[in-house]
Structure 1
Amino acid sequence: MNVKIAAAQYDISFLKLWQNYERKTESWVIEAAKRNVGILLFPEYASMELASLFSQDIYSSLSQQLAAMQSLLDDYIDWFRTLAQKYNCYIQAGTFPVKIDSGHYRNRAYLFMPDGQVDYQDKLMMTRFENEQGLIQSGKELKCFDTEYGKIAINICYDSEFPLLARKQVEAGANLILVPSCTDTLAGYHRVKIGCQARALENQCYVAQSSIVGIAPWSEAVDINIGAAAIYTPVDRGFPDNGILAIGELNAAQWVIAEVSPGDCETIREQGQVFNYRDWVLQTACQLKIDSKE
């Protein structure tokens, strides 16, 4: 079944009030719904703009804003569940830092279903920022999610740069991988972009990337944001020659929307010019031999 995907180039705002967050996010969803989008993707750490609802001493401190944001988690989940049901779509709302029993946080990507169900994927590979701050820890479970458009998966930003994660998800049946991302340099954006395109190439599947854009000097977490959203495809007959179905203007606030056909992934794996997906296992048959001289 074909489905339109909307990947956000989402701009960080200073909100002050929860009602401003509701108005902003619903306006984004309404814009996508008018174009009959079935799956919406927001970027990693998009929720961090909620720190602006608190006082300056809180939003100026990463540790304090993470702690304060826990008071908003239930409202956040209820709000996006409502939007997914109201506009009859799947919404991957970016990520929210969720406090766990150890006192640390998980970088959690919630997926909201049109029937009211909610599930999530935790980020598995931590960046230097996450590791060295010592506040956010890796998740432990890799998931796939059943939808009316087939199985989909989530790789959160840096996760997309590690091929075995996506491979396990695709082997479990996912033909679409959603990549919410947050990058503060052009190089960082390109690392994730290249990772997304590589995952689409080697697995002969679709990969959608979303990016935060804009400047938020008040925030320690998302002060500088550089990137573009895109929908990537296999590189083979019937798909774009460069593997890019749609891509946004760098750093502009906008939706990037394209229609995909997840069923075509199965077809191209059987009839394509190359068999990247099928030939993956041949790598294990290769033996590396290095001659050394004393």
Structure 2
Amino acid sequence: MPEFLGIDTSNYTTSAAVYVSEDNRIYQTKKLLPVKEGELGLRQSDAVFHHTKQLPEMIERLFGETELSAPMTVTASARPRNTEGSYMPCFLCGEGFARSYSAVTGAKLYTTSHQIGHILAALYSADRLELVKEPFIAFHVSGGTTDCLLCEPDEDNVLSISEIGTSLDLKAGQAVDRTGVMLGLRFPCGAELEKLAAGADKYYKVKPVLKNGSCCLSGVENKCGSMLKNGESPENTARYCLDFIADTIIAMTAYAVEKHGELPLVFAGGVMSDVIIRDRIISRYPSASFAEPQFSCDNAAGVAIYGYLKSTGEK
């Protein structure tokens, strides 16, 4: 049975996945990197250390709890994006394992970007993998990115990605986490902030800040701090943060559609698993495709699927 192994060692999560192409099924394991209470992330040296400890455990769980055979294709996310100079040391952990696995087993080896992995995972989850054969607009919204992207078929990299817009300062995931830590939540704060925001009883008008399709999000952190200082409830503050991000993404989408036409819309990345943000976007763009939460946050599923698409494309 054709099986394709994917590895992703991002700055948030250690992930391993196997895609079984005959069943169109993903098996995956993942584990968040530990972050001390009150802190907003990890140094790269600490991330590398934790991946080194956690990756063997993820592989053991993935193959110990299933009847999967040894895949003969392995893919790792080796860089954040497919752009010159895109590099983070944490991805060396996954790439190193994949290279070693390939050398020992003779498995075909591929590498891709963390960003392409996110987009392919979203396409798989939304049952839209056929979009790799045509242009579409994708958002990658996470702790390190707030990117609006034009995606087009590419023989070498599966997808050729051009930036339409990005964040000029704070990223959406950073805004969520900084607001969450301000409210006493544990990093990463997305799930807890969403729960808190569900109890809001007041809604503030939001005015996104865009410059040629790119956004500015630093204002949301300042506004949330001001709201709390002036006695606003944590629930209403959390809701303002999420509404600001949602309306900003909607404004960026409108810019992209005006510039490139009514292309299919795909939303990927951990921030896009937030129900409040997703529902506001769907109310404006009902045909948009979203990944399920387990395929929105950092995962190796799309990386495994990349290996499948490359293998079938080379036959």
Given the two structures, how large is their TM-score scaled by the length of structure 2?
A: 0.29
Given the two structures, how large is their TM-score scaled by the length of structure 1?
A: 0.30
Which of the two has greater helix per residue? Answer: 2
